[in-house]
Each structure stands twice: as structure tokens, then as C-alpha cells.
Amino acid sequence: MSASLNTAAPAPAAAAAAVATAVDPACAEPLAVLGRDVTVPLVTGGEVTYAALDYAASAPALQRVWDDVAAYAPYYGSVHRGAGYLSQLSTDLFEQSRVTVAEFLDCRPTDQVVFTRSTTDSLNLLAAVLPADCQVFVFETEHHASLLPWVDAQVTYLNAPRTPAEAVATLERALADRDSYGPALVCVTGASNVTGELWPVKELAAAAHAHGARIVLDAAQLAPHHPVSVQELDVDWVAFSGHKLYAPFGSGVLAGRSDWLQQAQPYLAGGGASRKVARREDGGVDVEWHTTAARHEAGSPNVIGVYSIASACKALTEAGFGNLVAREQHLVAKVRSGLAEVPAVRILSLFGDDAPRVGVISFVVDGWNSSHFAAALSAEYGIGVRDGLFCAHPLVRTLLGSEPQAQGECGAPEAAPGERSLNAIRVSFGAGTPDEHVERFVRAVKELVADGAKWQYRTEEGRCVPAV
């Protein structure tokens, strides 16, 4: 095997342009993922191949990623500290993975790639290194990972916009009205984990920079579906998770400008982050911290997780985002057109039906509690979706028109017909999803709405489950 992961990604503009010349998406094969042949039992009897339609929570591992990790595993060794061959190989693999991720994101030459545990960890790291008196601006539509980390900063929460232009105008007004012209940071998602809608990141970045602010892009839902270019979007940082990028081994990325990262104390203090430690005469210690990405990577790094992210970046790049985007839009159209044929179904959206989106769609069904509906999809059709508020409570409550204090629990499945659910159902898919899975999903929705569930369900520890 080779330790080198230095494979350049195509320019994002070229990848996006390739959509127009991609092969017929209806004929394109999905990428191979683990679990594609797993069968699950149905409460009504028999088994069926599992339809994994919860990619927005965690995407299945690409077979390519699994194979690369399996090939590397016998060579696993300590990183950065070992003189032995396996340690040197693992160190090279780890650092070449950093190069691969930087190329995948089209980073600037001076940017740093810091490996973390997840998007949440990445944004908490950035929150920990904010300069004093930094003001943060974040829309209420964000996932909690990007809504909540800024507890030590002065935060302005912006109301949910109803068009991309309104999002930009709202941010511009907020930045123009800020109290001072000190450091400021805007945090915005690239694609909503609730609606799948793409946000006007480039325009928001321009607005932020025009008012002397910086911007961080939460690309957790964008990077697995669409090319992301730090330079083209002109964002200061980007964060994403491996487990949503078909690399479920517990690593994430924060990539971008180095100055705030290097001016702050390490996110975690310990080995790896420290360059030199010496005792003082007064009994204390003096520490010289690294000025590279290692400053915020204390402890033994997750080499497997990091390598798996690099493997996924290479796999998606080689598959071609043009083809991947075209095929996913083919699936999006299938689901949306199928759900549009069911009057009882209401798809949730901020920006309207024509807004560009990735393969994430949330909806509610008249007369159904969402947890009951999701449970029936699983137990009676072998389809895995998600129900709830999707760690984006303010956004989902806005879309549902519920009061801010309204509870979002599962609710009893025996709720009166027509009772409005305080949560929603989310179906999400990606590069590994076959047509049959979304076709089965649409068919199941139509049958459940027309005929009702075939089984009885009960609430157990806040979840709707089949009654035994």
C-alpha cells in the first residue's frame, strides 16, 4: 500500500459545470456503500432489504473508505512521536490526509486544516479561540452545532429569512447596526439539515467582509452532496464531519485562516499541542505551544478517522461531483414529485419549491403524529428515516408554526386523528442511494396515508414502537 494521499481535486467550478454534461442520472449507478445488502425483519412478516434514508444524520460508509482503512489497519502506528517504520508511515498518512482535505476544500495556501471529532467539535474549537469582545451573528435556522457554541461571545440571533435575498439583507442590517467595529464572526450553514435548501454562502460572505466580519461555513450537509471551495465562496473557515461524508470513524475538520487559531491558547492542553515544557524555579512550568495545526490537536490523533475522511474526499472527487449532483437531483425530483401527489403531505421549506437543495427533505402528514409515521415506515416497509426536530428546534418550530415553548416530544401514536404533530419526518439520501429505496419510500407514504398502518404502535421511552 502507499502512504500518499496527495491527489488533487478538480476546480469546483469545473465540477459544477460537469452537471450539464453528466451521464443520464437515471442510468448512473450509486456508489458502493456498506449495508446495501442488509435485510431487516418486518412486523407484518418476512424480510426486506433495508432502505437507509437517514443520510443527514449519518451516511453509510463508502465501500472504498472501508477497504482503504482495512488495507491500512495492519500498518497502524503512533503518529508524530515514533521512530519505527509503522509510526513514520502513519505520520505520513496523517499529514498527507491533511493535504488531501485542503485540496478537496480548495483551501488557500496559507490556510490550516485542523482535525477534530466532528462539526460540533470544530465549531466549539472556533468559539474557544475567538478574540476578546468578538460579536457573533447566527441565524435561528442553524443546526444546534452552529447555533449554540458561542456562549462566551456577544451573540445576535437573526430571524429566519424566507428568501436567500432576505438572508443577505438581514445580515447586512445586523452588521451595519452592531455596537462596535471590533472582531465579528458570522456563522451560516451551507445546506439546511431540515429542508436541504442551499444558502447564499458567497453573498453572505461578501456581506460579512464588507462590514469587517469573518464567516465560518457549516458544511456538514453541503460537503457530502456538493463541491465546496473555500476560495470561490470566500469563507474564512469551513467545518464538516466525517460521519456525514461516508467516513464514520469519529473525525471532523475545521479548515481556514490560521491567525485566530494561533493567537489563542490551545483548545485542549496536553501532548502534541506542546512544543517545549520546562520547570520554572518557582515550581511552575513554562510551555511553548506549537504554531501549526497541532496546537489544537492535543493527544494521540484519530489516525483511522482522519485517513477515512481523506479516502472519502478522494472517492467523491474521483466519482465527479457533476455526476453525483446530477444523480442526486434525479432522486430529489422523484421524492418531491411523489410526495406532491399526496394532498395530506406538506413539505417544509424556507425558500420555496424552486430553491436549489440537496437530498434532504422534511415533511408532515395531516392526521399523523410524525413519530408514528416514521415507526410505521421502519416496521412495515424496512425504511429508515428520522423524526423530531433534527437538532434545529427553532427552525422546525418556525416551519411548523408552533409556539417557541411547544414541546417536541414523540407524542402518543394514538393521538386524535388530525392532531398536529410538533415534530416532522425527514428523508435524506446521497451518493449510495439506489432508485428502489426512494421509490419504495414514496410508495409507502402513499399506502400509509391511504390505508393507515397495518400494525398497532405504542410509546416507549419517548419513541413510537410496534406493540408486541
pLDDT (tens digit per residue) in 431-452: 999 999 999 999 999 999 999 9
Q: How confident is the model at residue 66 (pLDDT cuts 50, 70, 90)?
A: very high
pLDDT at 401: 85
Mean of all residue pLDDT scores within the chain: 89
Give the pLDDT mean for 260-280: 87
Pick the more confident residue, 464 or 105.
105
Q: How confident is the model at residue 461 (pLDDT cuts 50, 70, 90)?
A: confident
Residue 468 has pLDDT above 70, yes or no: yes
CA distance 207 to 248: 35
Q: How confident is the model at residue 267 (pLDDT cuts 50, 70, 90)?
A: confident
Pick the more confident residue, 279 or 440.
440
pLDDT (tens digit per residue) in 5-47: 333 333 333 333 333 344 566 557 999 999 999 999 999 999 9
Q: Which parts of 149-295 are beta strand (E)?
A: 154-158, 184-189, 214-218, 237-241, 252-256, 274-279, 285-289
Q: Rounded to whole angstroms, what are the CA distances from 11 to 22, 257, 324, 402?
A: 16, 20, 15, 43
- Residue 177, number of CB atoms within 10 A of its CB: 9
Q: Which parts of 173-323 are beta strand (E)?
A: 184-189, 214-218, 237-241, 252-256, 274-279, 285-289
Give the pLDDT mean for 138-160: 95
pTM above 0.85, yes or no: yes
pLDDT (tens digit per residue) in 351-385: 999 999 999 999 999 989 899 999 999 999 999 99
Q: C-alpha grid cell for residue 295?
A: 496546537
pLDDT at 1: 43
Give the pLDDT mean for 39-61: 97
| Set 134, 313, 391, 464: catalytic member | 391
pLDDT at 411: 40
6-35: buried (b, 16+ CB within 10 Å) or exposed (e) per residue?
A: eeebbebeebbebbeebeebeebebbbbbe
Told to judge if 391 belongs to the known catalytic residues of this protein, a careful annotator would answer yes
Which of 162, 170, 163 lies closest to 137, judged by CA? 170
Residue 430 has pLDDT above 70, yes or no: yes
Which of 29, 196, 168, 3 lies closest to 86, judged by CA? 3
Q: How confident is the model at residue 300 (pLDDT cuts 50, 70, 90)?
A: confident
Q: How confident is the model at residue 108 (pLDDT cuts 50, 70, 90)?
A: very high
Which of 220, 251, 241, 216 lies closest to 126, judged by CA? 216
pLDDT at 18: 38
**Cα within 13 Å of Cα(369), Cβ side:** 19
- Residue 316, number of CB atoms within 10 A of its CB: 25
